[in-house]
Structure 1
Amino acid sequence: MKQQESRASTYTTLAAGQEFRHEIEVKRSRFITVLRRADSEETARDLVSVLRREFHDARHHCSAFVLGPDRGIQRSNDDGEPSGTAGIPMLEALLKRETTPDAADLSDVSAVVVRYFGGILLGAGGLVRAYSESVSAALGGAPLVSRRRLRICEASVPHAAAGRLENDLRSAGFTMADTSYGSRETVLRLAIPDIPAGIAAAGERVLSLTAGKAALVPGGTEWIDVPLP
């Protein structure tokens, strides 16, 4: 069966290649939250395995993750805590995180909370609050980016002109994707909102900056990380 294409065009996630950690203490119990970007269930679950080895003497390694532009994959695990007191509160903290005003769109994030028991029972309500607050506090300081599905358009220019053109386009506010190099030309790739007016305006800007020598050629769409507004 053909997989249905996502209807989302933007969501928020952790900055690529970064892992973020945050710790709180509740009645002598330590709650160490580790956040990592994940693009698959395998990657998300791998974080649990890594932390089990690192914190091998901890009593619990509870986890939650949400994946996909539409947040279609959501999983949680209490790892020995009373049912519903750890994984679900962690997952809800991920899902409810408002990264822009009135918008909760965080995805592709795996969260693990490592708990060292401090000898004082917290009760069901105390555990729910502790696991939820641990993830929420970690997200409050984590490096986040906006991930957008943008139209990739290419402009081929001589190598000697590429650097200046790229700088001019960045200064004009365009998002640049990966650059490729041929034997005679450099191919600059612009990531543009997938609307005809935006693509047309970008094409006109490239023509103006190159005195009509380079045309912008629209291609397919890709997911691109851009800074949060």
Structure 2
Amino acid sequence: MALTLAQPAHSELVIRKSRFIGCVQAVPDREHAQAIVARLRAGHPQAAHVCWALLAGGQSAANDDGEPGGTAGRPMLEVLRRQDLEGVLATVVRYFGGVKLGAGGLVRAYTDAVAQALLGAQKLPLRRTLALRCAVPYALEGMLRRELQQAGALLGDVIHGDEVELAFSVADDAAAALTARLNEAGQGALRWLD
């Protein structure tokens, strides 16, 4: 079963005068990951490298950010894979200390920075969710909200217009049962939206 992280976890290593600041955190996709990396670059303008690895379904990627090819991003990605993680970004900010580490030293430093951060991370089973939207008359809003709460669905946007439109997400494995209950309780008055 794939795992994700409850909250970001950090590490800091000093290896032959170079400082490696590692972080692992849950992210939904590559776009969010790249925004985090951009913030790290802006927050650490004196850093020599901001390397990262992302495991997020079909959006997996690794970036060495100027380190010799295959010495940073790929090894970081392998650490995430070995831990059976999904939807996780690993970043390592390196401040160069003036001593070259060689390819093997770089691989060890970057993998150790990620592994140390993962030691302090709380891992949770990854539950896939399905995003849904429906519209109901005002008289059925209370029933719909109760059913969503009972199913453990996460309520999103609610729009009050001629009728009430609700967006929500629910665990993949609970979606079919919830939609069947809502269709039955709505007695034909509930409309599913794209």
Conserved 8 A contact 2:3-2:125: yes
Evaluate the alpha carbon distance shift between residue 11 and residue 127 of structure 1 in structure 2; reply closer, same or farther with a 3 A threshold: same
Q: Please, which of 63, 76, 92 is the counterpart of residue 52 of structure 2? A: 63
Cα distance, 1:89 vs structure 2: 0.9
Write the letter of the residue equivalent to 1:24: E
Distance (Å, rounded) in 2 between the aligned partners of 1:50 and 1:205: 42
Q: Please, which of 22, 39, 64 is the counterpart of residue 29 of structure 2? A: 39
**Corresponding residue for residue 141 of structure 2:** 162
Is 2:10 the counterpart of 1:22? Answer: yes
**Corresponding residue for residue 85 of structure 1:** 71
**Corresponding residue for residue 103 of structure 1:** none
Is 2:165 the counterpart of 1:187? Answer: yes
Please report the TM-score for the alignment, with normalisation by the length of structure 1: 0.59
Conserved 8 A contact 1:192-1:199: no
Distance (Å, rounded) in 2 between the aligned partners of 1:38 and 1:188: 22
Cα distance, 1:134 vs structure 2: 1.5
Q: Deviation digits for residues 112-134 of structure 1, max 9, x if unmatched?
A: 31122456654543332221122
CA RMSD of aligned residues (A): 4.1
Q: Please, which of 48, 51, 58 is the counterpart of residue 40 of structure 2? A: 51
Conserved 8 A contact 2:9-2:121: no
Q: Deviation digits for residues 106-153 of structure 1, max 9, x if unmatched?
A: 13x443311224566545433322211222333452787846352625
Evaluate the alpha carbon distance shift between residue 165 and residue 65 of structure 1 in structure 2; reply closer, same or farther with a 3 A threshold: closer
Is 2:119 the counterpart of 1:133? Answer: no
Conserved 8 A contact 2:153-2:171: no
Distance (Å, rounded) in 2 between the aligned partners of 1:180 and 1:88: 42
Conserved 8 A contact 2:20-2:94: yes
Conserved 8 A contact 1:179-1:186: no
Percent identity at matched positions? 37
How many positions carry a matched residue from both structures?
A: 191
Please report the TM-score for the alignment, with normalisation by the length of structure 2: 0.67
Q: Deviation digits for residues 28-70 of structure 1, max 9, x if unmatched?
A: 53211245636346x5445444333322222332233345x3x
Evaluate the alpha carbon distance shift between residue 184 and residue 84 of structure 1 in structure 2; reply closer, same or farther with a 3 A threshold: closer
**Corresponding residue for residue 76 of structure 1:** 63
Cα distance, 1:175 vs structure 2: 1.3
Unaligned stretches of 5+ residues in structure 2: none
Cα distance, 1:88 vs structure 2: 1.5
Is 2:109 the counterpart of 1:116? Answer: no
Distance (Å, rounded) in 1 between the aligned partners of 2:168 and 2:33: 31
Distance (Å, rounded) in 2 between the aligned partners of 1:59 and 1:181: 48
Give the match's secondary structure for 2:156. Answer: coil
**Corresponding residue for residue 225 of structure 1:** none
**Corresponding residue for residue 226 of structure 1:** none
